[in-house]
Every structure is written in C-alpha cells, then in structure tokens.
Chain A
Amino acid sequence: MAKINHIDVINKNGYVLIGNLLEKRLINDVLNNILPFANIFQKKQSQEIVYHLK
C-alpha cells in the first residue's frame, strides 16, 4: 500500500488522520492512570453525598 504523505493531505484538506501514531504502551499508561484517579474522585464525591445527608 502506498505510504500517505501527511503534508500533502493536510495542505489539501486542512486536516489529516495519522494512523497508528502512538505506541500501545503510552495508550495503556493513560488508561492505567485515569482509572485509579477516577476511583479517588468517586470516593471523594460519595463522601460529599454523606455530607448532604447529614
């Protein structure tokens, strides 16, 4: 398959999709950072509900 010239495409259309740019490791690291943080946020937020009920 012919290699896409990203410079030509972005200059023609104003944008370009760049396939498979990012390593899996970087993508997984992001999810593995968001999930624990979401848990902390959820815990703090559920504590807020307790305050409301008191």
Chain B
Amino acid sequence: MIKNVDDLSQFLIWLDKYNNQYLFSFVSLVSSLYKIKQLCYDDIFIKKASKLLFISDEELLCGEISFLVNTPDSKRLIYQWHNAKNYYPKREKHINFWVPIIVDKTKNNGTLEMAKKSHLNDYPFLEFQGPTDKSKKGNLTQNLIPDYYVKDFDIEKLECKVGSVAAILPKTVHSGSLNQSLECSYVLVFKIWANHKDWTLSSNLSQKYFEGDIGSGPDITII
C-alpha cells in the first residue's frame, strides 16, 4: 500500500529494478492524470509565458506534459547536454517550464544543470539513441551537445522548492544530473509556445526539416 511520499519513492525504486519498462508506463500514465493537466494548464503558466514571450494569452499553445522520475544513483534516463532548439528546430518562441513536484530539487538529488547565457548561440549536436536498460532494450533519444561547446559556460545546478519553477528559453543548454540521494525526485516538463516565427503551420511541435512537412509551403509568413 502506497500511503505517502516515502512509500511512493520506494515503490518506484523497486519498479525501476524489477522492470524499467513498467516504470516508463507509470510515468507516462501519470502525465495524463487530470490534476497534473490541471496544474500545467493553469492560467498562471499561460500568463507567465505571455509576459516572458510578449505574446497575448489567446495566441499561445500548450504542449504535451512529461512527468519525469529521477531514481537514486541511476544514470539510465539522464539527458546529457542538450537544448530544446535542436529537437524542435522549427520552433522559435517558447518557454520550457520545469516544475519540481512532490519533493524539492536540491543540488544532489538529480536537479537540472544550466549553462548560463548559452541561449545566445546555436549548437551542433550528436543525435543518437542510448539504451535505457542493461538488455539494451528501450531507447532514450539524446541530442548531445559535446562538452567542447559547454566547457566555458558558468554552470548552475538549480535548487528549486516545490511551488517554484524554472522557465527556460529554446537555445539554453542544460543537462540532467545524477540523483545522489536515497529518494526519488520528480518534475513536470512542458512547453508553452507561439507559432508566429515558425517556418511551418504544422501541429507537430517537433516537426523537423527535410521530413515532408505538410504544414510548410511557399505561402508561409513570419509574423
């Protein structure tokens, strides 16, 4: 019986070891819980994104929500240095919200590392799929920006209490980190975006170039 936060953490640590595909299912299902959606689609995020992007509420779009669990001492699902721009190449204006829930994010429980002022550049990246378990089953797509491009930035490990959030620009380089505590930590991640500057009318947020974009013709205008 899972009665509290400690029970939840112990169950997920066990589940990760027992069958990490089940853990993947769990986090995907939790992303669809109505209170999760209610939180992420609350007016407060729309209003904040509206202010940061200088675009009115009515013109903004809400992306899918990801619930991410960082289990102790597990490197399996940690994203290396990357930015949103390389995965969403046709999107110019969005805020990526990173929202710790259940427990505070601290410097040692698998928080986000940010490369300060890295949003001012574009970056090459290596796209590959890393195995997500020992049997090499499951893949985590990495768009890895090599260390060479990150080494000169000032790096901040975010400390963020539940109730506080980080808002991140598309080009900002960031990475996950190892959870060195004994308990799981958790975040919700989602985007609020505007398509004004996009070279597409596609509804597919991660629409790539050279992949038969049905929303892109010679009549598309940047506004």
Contact = CB atoms under 8 A, between A and B. Distances in A.
Is the A/B pair a real complex?
yes
Interface of A: 6-7, 10, 12-24, 26-27, 29-35, 37-39, 41-42, 45
B5 A31 contact: yes
A10 B158 CA distance: 14
Given A14-B117, A16-B167, A42-B11, A7 B52 contact: yes
B35 A15 contact: no
A6 B49 CA distance: 11
Contact of A14 (B33, B114, B161): B114
Interface of B: 1-5, 8, 11, 15, 22, 26, 29-30, 33-36, 38-39, 42, 44, 48, 51-52, 99, 101-102, 114-120, 158, 160-169, 171-172, 174
Given A10-B169, A41-B29, A42-B2, A18 B35 contact: no
A27 B169 contact: no
B167 A45 contact: no
A27 B22 contact: no
A31 B101 contact: yes
Contacts, number: 115
B160 A17 contact: yes
A26 B102 CA distance: 11
Nearest to A29: B35
A14 B169 contact: yes
A6 B63 CA distance: 22
A25 to B, nearest CB: 10
8 contacts: A10-B169, A15-B168, A15-B174, A20-B161, A21-B163, A23-B163, A29-B39, A38-B11
A50 B31 CA distance: 27
Contact of A45 (B1, B15, B158, B169): B15
Contacts of A18: 48, 164-167
B158 A17 contact: yes
The 10 closest A-B pairs by CB, nearest first: A14-B119, A14-B172, A33-B35, A15-B168, A29-B35, A19-B164, A38-B2, A22-B163, A33-B33, A14-B169
Given A12-B117, A14-B171, A37-B30, A27 B2 contact: no
A41 B29 CA distance: 10
B186 to A, nearest CB: 9
A45 B14 CA distance: 12
Contacts of A21: 44, 48, 163-165
Nearest to A38: B2
Contacts of B8: 34-35, 38
